[in-house]
Amino acid sequence: MALLKQWKEMAYSETANKGDLKRLWQEYFQKEKEIYAELLKTPDEVAEGTVKELADRFGVDLMTMTGFLDGINDSLKEANPIEEMEEDTKVNLGFEKELLYKNMVAAGADWLYNLEEWNDIFDEEKRKALYREQKISTTIVKGDKIYPNDPCPCGSGKKYKKCCGRNQ
């Protein structure tokens, strides 16, 4: 069975004890934070190897590394084959710095986008700009409501109700 499928069955189990799942995620988030802190110390160095080699390098089990690879995949310069990944599959962690930061913001992972290691990569102004950029990108802006007696937005000079707002 592919590692990702095993990870999802374990981490998103409908039948597991809620306390066990909570502990699993707390431990995962702590290990994830440690891996990101390590990666961000040398952001231009691409960590690569098999899934098993990377798990050993970062001192985590195979399932934690699988979850990590699933999480970082959208921020990589070159996506890994996570769907069919096995422990001997070659993967890399070459991430795009700005994209990774924005994805951490989008995930609401303040424990990750507030890591000290970001200070050496982006100054505070740049981090704030990336944060704002990400938040604005997901904001839905509704146009002004057009009322029947308003001028028609098509520019005809007629009232909306007598032009484009007419029932067809």
With a CB cutoff of 8 Å and minimum separation 6, the contacts of 64 are 27, 28, 31, 32, 55
pLDDT value at residue 141:
80
Residue 161 has pLDDT above 60, yes or no: yes
pLDDT at 167: 67
Closest to 94 measured CA to CA, from 147, 158, 48: 48
The Cα–Cα gap between 123 and 56 comes to 32
58-95: pLDDT as tens digits: 999 999 999 999 999 999 999 999 999 999 999 999 99
Flag whether pLDDT at 168 surpasses 60: no
Residue located via tokens 């798990």: 55
Residue 165 has pLDDT above 90, yes or no: no
User: Look-up: residue for tokens 């032009």?
Assistant: 163
**Mean pLDDT computed over every residue of the chain:** 93
pLDDT digits (tens, 9 = 90+) for 12-40: 999 889 999 999 999 999 999 999 999 99
In whole angstroms, what is the distance from residue 20 CA to residue 2 CA?
A: 23
DSSP character string of 35-53: HHHHHHHSTTS--EEEHHH
pLDDT of residue 166: 82
- The pLDDT of residue 153 is above 60: yes
Instruction: Give mean pLDDT, residues 125-150.
Output: 90
Residue 45's Cβ-count burial label (10 Å; 0-12, 13-18, 19+) is: exposed
Give the pLDDT of residue 8. 94
d(CA 53, CA 55): 5
Name the β-bridge partners of 159.
Answer: 151
Cα–Cα distance, 80 to 60 (Å, whole number): 19
pTM of the model: 0.80
pLDDT, tens digit (0-9, with 9 covering 90-100), for 34-56: 999 999 999 999 999 999 999 99
